[in-house]
Structure 1
């Protein structure tokens, strides 16, 4: 069975990606990160998703990206803003070079276990404008990985980065996830770490919009009447 490393945050996109990779016949190895983010609610969701999907392994990488901050998700002195569809620049929820760092770890893990496939759940259709969710970035990272790993340079075993939802609307992703029996009630999307999702941050708004467009009711309960 082919092995695949799946970047798994515990959110809607990465959990759907995990189930998709599994459905395609891969033996999946889930890789999650405790990187100094604002809350840890996603991590437990990731752990549960890996178990439910029958992942061969779940690894939690600890790294302290909060040491330099630069994002509302890693610096608690920066407030998470409410959703705004008229951003003139990248929102403060962007974590500097996060996907570059995560994919580098994934490449190392893949080479170590003999996997030639990495899955990541990024999209440039329904997202907040993050530069590390674009085709150009994914293609460039794949090229860099294959220039900097022995398996590719010496053994000819190149690593492929799969971004199955890069051109897919989140509503279509949810429809697919439902067919794959993803339990979205056990995912966490909100940028904040409250008892319930806030319903007003970018991530919550994109999720709620997607469920509505997909024709499903989001199984999560939200603060107030934002749902």
Structure 2
């Protein structure tokens, strides 16, 4: 066993909390961030800032723009509108086809290359917006696939995929992040990606709820026109 952990870092609240958890456990962190043709660069910029905050010298940014070429999601296809209040839907149109399957496949390859024992990813089965690739069944499946598909899995034992937020809601995630000093002021959650968060997309609503339920002040700025969201 070694002290290395790959962290799938999106620049958002959940993945940054995973960074904080891995750091708290004393792992040597190797963040990996994916540029997949998302609507804006704020995610990438936030991920870079967070990796710098945790003093990660080797931060991989992987270009897989193919996901925007095939479309199928309002996060990668600007012709599709990001709709509000989709939390009650089974699978909203912000779902990016097979995104975490692709991310974890590449993260597994990276972990095997650098001989890391762990991968951290901030998937969540409670506030997961209906995405099928955030469920524990998916993680269990790809964990088994990693064991079967890699030299490391066959010869040395599996690379462990850690999902420390899987059974936490946003209230619990925010509380945990504040306790371990995650720099939430550097994170971004908004699907729109403007200088100030919209405050009405599903991702913003979940984040706002998490801070409000803890009576914490969210350190990021929201558009003033959406002040009704905070009542």
| Residue 38 of structure 1: aligned partner | 39
Q: Displacement of 1:188 after TM fit?
A: 0.4
What is residue 59 of structure 1 aligned with on the other side?
Answer: 60
Supply the distance in 2 between the matched residues of 1:151 and 1:56 (Cα, whole angstroms). 25
Q: What pairs up with 1:26-175 in 2 under 5 angstroms?
A: 26-64=27-65, 65-87=67-89, 89-153=90-154, 155-175=155-175
Q: Please give the secondary structure, in 2, of the residue aligned with 1:57.
A: coil
Give the distance between the partners of 1:25 and 1:40, measured in 2 at CA. 30
Q: Deviations over 1:165-224 (max 9, x none)?
A: 000111111111111111211100001122211111100000000111122111111112
The 1-side partners of 2:148 and 2:20 are apart by 29
Distance in structure 2 (CA, Å) of the matches to 1:203 and 1:15? 15
Contact 2:87 2:130 in 1 (8 A): no
1:204 aligns with 2:222: no
Q: Deviations over 1:103-150 (max 9, x none)?
A: 001000000000011000011111201100000000101110111100
When the two chains are superposed, the root-mean-square deviation of aligned CA atoms in Å is: 1.1
- Structure 1 unaligned regions, length at least 5: none
Asked if 2 retains the 8 angstrom alpha-carbon contact of 1:3 and 1:115, the reply is yes
CA distance in 2, matches of 1:162, 1:205: 26
In structure 2, C-alpha distance between the alignment counterparts of 1:210 and 1:190, rounded to whole Å: 14
Distance (Å, rounded) in 1 between the aligned partners of 2:163 and 2:29: 15
Aligned to 2:215: 215
1:70, distance to aligned residue in structure 2 (A): 0.2
Q: Which runs of 4+ in 1 moved over 3 A?
A: none
* Kept after mapping to 2: 8 A contact 1:35/1:62: yes
TM-score between both structures, scaled by the size of structure 2: 0.94
Distance in 2 (CA, whole Å) between partners of 1:85 and 1:126 is: 9
Distance 1:139 1:22 in 2: 24
Shift of 1:157: 2.8
Q: Which of 2-11 and 78-87 deviates more?
A: 78-87
Secondary structure of the 1:123 match is coil
Q: Is residue 116–residue 157 contact of structure 1 (8 Å, CA) maintained in 2?
A: no
Superposed displacement of residue 56, structure 1: 4.2
Superposed displacement of residue 55, structure 1: 2.2
Deviates more, 1:193-202 or 1:12-21: 193-202
SS of the residue corresponding to residue 144 of structure 1 reads helix
Residue range with higher mean Cα deviation, 213-222 or 23-32 = 213-222
TM-score, normalised to structure 1, is 0.96
- Structure 2 Cα separation of the partners of residues 136 and 56 of structure 1: 33
